[in-house]
């Protein structure tokens, strides 16, 4: 199904209708074009994932890159070459159709945005699913930490290239991309305690405080996502982010990488539980 570009942002469902839907229901709504926006608050309590597809000859390098950089890229699943089904975390899903929008990067540049991979999926494609902060939306709500992206339809975390470098692996090298969430000062310690227990969703923040210390000079220059308003009495907290994969494709000029469009994650069947790595 290739909906017309003019329908790009319309969805026939509301977010609250999908909050308590099953992962399979959310994926079906996405597959059928009934949900096209970002996936925050959807299927609350299940892991959402960054999708990264590379040709097999880059796949071992990318798997080592994930293993060497588990904070930004905690691995949830990897497919057999040519198999579009993530058999560990969603054996009833199809990576070619179950994401609302995909980016095709060639030689480190976004060459195309598509709504399905059915026509471009190849036998040598390997899919990787890595953890995402949105997986913790339910944990945050239950802990009484209604971060801005959870309470306002418009808000979404902003992501920045940082000066922190990934451990390289094979062809892959690049910066750790950081996701900024402004947190009320009184919640800084509790949110560190809470997130540190969820390593598969990036774990504890990678940096708290002055953005310049991790090479982010101007918060208005957002690399991905939307600029956050930093209210008074809030602290800038940064978590490692899965867009790190895309930043590595760009810096390393990987010939071909296909990813989800930022914010439009793949929803897995895996329940979020505490984890360490």
Which parts of this chain interact with its own copies (CB under 8 A)?
Answer: 56, 59-60, 63-64, 67-68, 75, 78, 80-81, 88, 169-170, 273-277
Q: What are phi and psi of 79, to 5 degrees?
A: -95, 160
Distance (Å, whole) CA 38 – CA 141: 18
**Minimum distance, C-beta of residue 80 to its own copies, in the bound complex (Å):** 7
Q: Given the complex with its own copies, which of 14 and 275 has the nearer CB atom?
A: 275
DSSP state of 172: B
Question: How far is residue 140's CA from residue 157's CA, in Å, rounded to a whole number?
Answer: 14
Residue 256 C-beta: closest distance to its own copies, Å: 17
Smallest distance from the beta carbon of 91 to its own copies, in angstroms? 12
- Shortest Cβ 54–its own copies spacing (Å): 11
Cβ nearer to its own copies, comparing 59 with 241: 59
H-type alpha helices, the chain? 15-19, 23-31, 56-68, 137-142, 148-151, 188-195, 244-252
In whole angstroms, give the CA distance from residue 55 to residue 107: 13
Q: Alpha-carbon distance 235 to 59, whole Å?
A: 38
Shortest spacing between CB 60 and its own copies, in angstroms: 4
Q: Which is nearer to its own copies, 123 or 217 (CB)?
A: 123
Residues 6+ apart with CB under 8 A from 126: 53, 54, 55, 56, 59, 62, 78, 79, 80, 81
Q: Which is nearer to its own copies, 30 or 166 (CB)?
A: 166
User: How many residues can be counted in the chain?
Assistant: 277
Min dist. Cβ of residue 87 to its own copies (A):
8
Residue closer to its own copies by CB (options 2, 167) is: 167
Q: What is residue 142's three-state secondary structure?
A: helix
Which tokens sit at 227? 């600029």
CB of 59 to its own copies, least distance (A): 6
Nearer to its own copies, 81 or 190 (CB): 81
Sign of CA dihedral 74, 44, 41, 189: negative
Q: Which residue from 143, 254, 235 is spatially nearest to 180, judged by alpha carbons?
A: 235
How many Å apart are CA 179 and CA 224, to the nearest integer?
9
Kindly tell me which of 44 and 169 has the beta carbon lying closer to its own copies.
169
Q: Is the dihedral of CA 10, 12, 18, 22 positive or negative?
A: negative
Residue 75 vs 166, nearer CB to its own copies? 75
C-beta of 78: minimal distance to its own copies in Å? 6
């Amino acid at each position: 199904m290739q909906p017309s570009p003019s329908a790009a942002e319309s969805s026939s469902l509301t977010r609250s209708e999908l909050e308590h839907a099953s992962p399979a229901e959310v994926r079906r709504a996405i597959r059928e074009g009934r949900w096209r926006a970002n996936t925050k608050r959807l299927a609350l309590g299940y892991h959402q994932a960054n999708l990264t597809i590379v040709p097999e000859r880059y796949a071992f390098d990318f798997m080592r890159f994930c293993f060497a950089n588990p904070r930004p890229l905690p691995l949830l699943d990897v497919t057999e070459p040519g198999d579009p089904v993530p058999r560990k975390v969603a054996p009833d899903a199809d990576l070619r159709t179950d994401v609302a929008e995909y980016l095709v990067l060639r030689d480190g540049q976004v060459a195309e945005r598509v709504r399905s991979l059915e026509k471009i999926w190849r036998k040598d494609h390997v899919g990787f699913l890595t953890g995402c902060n949105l997986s913790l939306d339910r944990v945050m709500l239950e802990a009484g930490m209604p971060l801005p992206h959870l309470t306002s339809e418009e808000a979404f975390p902003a992501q920045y290239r940082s000066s922190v470098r990934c451990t390289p692996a094979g062809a892959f090298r690049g910066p750790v991309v950081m996701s900024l969430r402004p947190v009320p000062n009184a919640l800084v310690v509790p949110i560190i305690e809470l997130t540190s227990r969820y390593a598969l969703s990036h774990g504890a923040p990678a940096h708290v405080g002055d953005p310049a210390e991790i090479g982010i000079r101007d918060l208005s220059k957002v690399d991905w996502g939307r600029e956050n308003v930093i209210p008074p009495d809030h602290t800038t907290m940064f978590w490692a982010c899965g867009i790190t994969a895309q930043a590595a494709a760009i810096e390393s000029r990987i010939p071909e990488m296909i990813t989800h469009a930022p914010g439009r994650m793949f929803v897995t069947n895996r329940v979020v539980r505490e984890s360490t790595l």
